[in-house]
Amino acid sequence: MGIIASISGIVVLAIFIGFVIYMGIQRLSWDFIVQLPSRFAEESGIYTAWMGTVWIMVFTTLISFPLGVGAGIYLEEYARQNRWSMFLEINISNLASVPSIIYGLLGLGVFVRMMQMGNSILAGALTLSLLILPIIIVSTREAIKAVPSSIRDASNALGASKWQTIWHQILPASFGGILTGVILALSRAIGETAPLIVVGALVYVPFAPQNPLDEFTVLPVQIYNWVSRPQEEFIINAAAAIIVLLGITFIMNGIAVYLRNKWQSKMEW
Amino acid sequence: MDSEITSQQPKTSQVETKPKLNPNNRSFKLQAKNVDVFYDDFQAIKDISLDIVENSITAFIGPSGCGKSTFLRLFNRMNDNIDGFQMNGEIRIDNKNIYDESIKVEELRKRVGMVFQKPNPFPKSIYENVAYGLRIQGVKDEDYIENRVIESLKQATLYSEIEDSLDKQALALSGGQQQRLCIARALAVKPSVILMDEPTSALDPISSGKIEDLIHELKKEFTIVIVTHNMQQAARVSDNTAFLYMGNLVEYGDTQKIFTNPKKDRTQNYITGRFG
């Protein structure tokens, strides 16, 4: 049963992807990637969209990586086991399953309005960071837990301080796992549409962003906009943009798999 | 039970508690005074007092769960991080209570090295494994580090086997070599005491034999305490033996006497294999 279910899932997915590629491949060209959007489908490109995606992803990484990994280290190594840490633990797991649009509303309320960042890249990146922080924290903790305690003992017995043991032994040994979690979280963030629409990603941006307080659009929002147009040509544009987005996501997942394999083979105890 | 043994003082003349080497000539390196250890409600060590002479080898024997590993790990405070750990009494090294608030655990562990049951080299090169203790102390002088690494590897009788491959992954070594590497790693920071927690239990007989020879050699410079399951090993390597049972120190004294003429029935039964 399980095999039939997963095969049918894969087949349906393959049909969808095949269909998208079949539709979009004719539109895919260098011009499509470097042109600004336009109200004429044939002249439209995704330049502002993927530039926005790059900006958003860079800032999301800068915010969520140190915060998430730091929180994971703290919870795993320093936090006392008591009711408070149990409460935190359960809530972090719960946060990972909150619908993304809720994060969008939170971002709109806190970053866009209260902190008056406007519909900026910074507000978008902060919102996406909140969205993926739980995933990064959980995967960091799992990676740290997987380091054998004998390594910790050996380091402590030589007179290493707690931080020295974490820095010289625990983190290098768990870094492959941490990185895998971070990349998978980022590849989820890159496809998110709903929270960015709520935060105010624009549908039509005639310029590439210059600084983090600029307004922006991203690939998924651009796609969402195009598929909702009645004209056939815009649907084709959307298919082509989907190919680009899928390509980026596959590459990121590929890097994650590669890093995991590379670090695992190095770390055999 | 056995309270007249466990509460003994160093100067009393009970035969079974007197260490082999004359305490008047050499100082006590390690001393336990009325030590109790609790893990939450469970009492793992019951009022143990015992003195260990400098440059001697002392073996802790006893059935599984008797508290010998817990007792060993008191001497470098490795129990401190275990949940629910609580201790009464004093552990003294060079006549200083190491559980005193003024003692820094990191400093203590630089003077008291430890070798574990399962070889646990770091996933780094052989060289970096031995250098690690010096590096975390902040030693920057590469020449000094290299000297210490080579000296320690020689002292651990490993150098001749891996002379040309110091950059090799430590995890690629055999189990016995890994364990000698772990000993070299402990020696590099120049401790005065070495604790060994069943150091040969994961090794084959030939590798075990090499480690035992090595322990004999190290006695000249270090005070060694070894926990072992292996009765023959205790008889072969140690000067003094302590037999622990259910958290009590049943008998402590000259290894030869304990193995040939134990004072207590329980010791007799254990070393002849009738229980445990």
Chain B CB within 8 Å of residue A10 CB: no
Domain boundaries, chain A: 48-266
> Are A157 and B123 in contact (CB < 8 Å)?
no
Tens of pLDDT, residues A237-254:
999 999 999 998 898 888
Residue B193 exposure: Cα atoms within 13 Å on the Cβ side: 25
| Cα gap B276→B254, rounded to integer Å | 21
Find the residue in A nearest to B84 (Cα): A81
Strand, coil or helix: B97: strand
Band the pLDDT of B142: cuts 50, 70, 90: very high
Whether B195 contacts B228, CB under 8 Å: no
> Are B106 and A159 in contact (CB < 8 Å)?
yes
Q: What is the dihedral of CA A231, A236, A240, A246, to 10 degrees?
A: 90
> Are A159 and B109 in contact (CB < 8 Å)?
yes
Distances (CA, A) of A181 to A178, A231, A256: 5, 40, 8
Band the pLDDT of B78: cuts 50, 70, 90: very high
Between vectors from CA A64 to CA A61 and to CA A68, what angle results, nearest 5°? 135
Q: Which two tokens stand for residue B4?
A: 């007249």
> Are A169 and B122 in contact (CB < 8 Å)?
yes
pLDDT recorded at residue B5: 43
- Domains for chain B: give ranges and CATH numbers: 3-271 (3.40.50.300)
Taking the CA of residue A161 and the nearest CA in chain B, the distance in Å comes to 6
> Are B136 and A156 in contact (CB < 8 Å)?
no
**Which of A158, A162, A165, A167 is the best residue to mutate to test the B interface, defined by the most B CB atoms within 10 Å of its own CB?**
A158
> Are A153 and B109 in contact (CB < 8 Å)?
no
Find the residue in A nearest to B179 (Cα): A154
Find the residue in A nearest to B118 (Cα): A150
Q: What is the dihedral of CA A255, A257, A262, A266, to 10 degrees?
A: 140
Q: Which two tokens stand for residue A121?
A: 């890249």
Residue A121 exposure: Cα atoms within 13 Å on the Cβ side: 27
Tens of pLDDT, residues B222-274:
999 999 988 889 999 999 999 999 999 999 999 999 999 888 888 988 888 87
Taking the CA of residue B67 and the nearest CA in chain A, the distance in Å comes to 19
Residue B215 has pLDDT above 90, yes or no: yes
pLDDT recorded at residue B177: 94
Q: Which two tokens stand for residue A197?
A: 């629409």
Taking the CA of residue A66 and the nearest CA in chain B, the distance in Å comes to 24
- A contacts of B108 (beta carbons < 8 Å): 159
Taking the CA of residue B246 and the nearest CA in chain A, the distance in Å comes to 25
> Are A157 and B107 in contact (CB < 8 Å)?
no
Report, as an integer, the average pLDDT of B94-113.
92
pLDDT recorded at residue B276: 54
Tens of pLDDT, residues B157-191:
999 999 899 999 999 999 999 999 999 999 999 99
Strand, coil or helix: A4: helix
Of B76, B122, B123, the CB nearest to A157: B76
Contacts of A62 (CB under 8 A, 6+ apart): A125
pLDDT recorded at residue A202: 78
Contacts of B117 (CB under 8 A, 6+ apart): B197, B198, B199, B201, B202
Helix H segments across B66-162? Answer: 68-73, 105-111, 126-136, 142-155, 159-162
Q: What's the DSSP call for residue B75?
A: T
**% of chain B residues with pLDDT over 70:** 90
Per the document, the length of chain A is 269
> Are B171 and A158 in contact (CB < 8 Å)?
no
Domain A48-266 has CATH 1.10.10.60: no
pLDDT recorded at residue A266: 60
Q: What's the DSSP call for residue B171?
A: G
pLDDT recorded at residue B26: 59
pTM for the predicted model, two decimal places:
0.82
The stretches in chain A having pLDDT less than 70 are: 264-269
pLDDT recorded at residue A268: 52
Residue B52 has pLDDT above 80, yes or no: yes
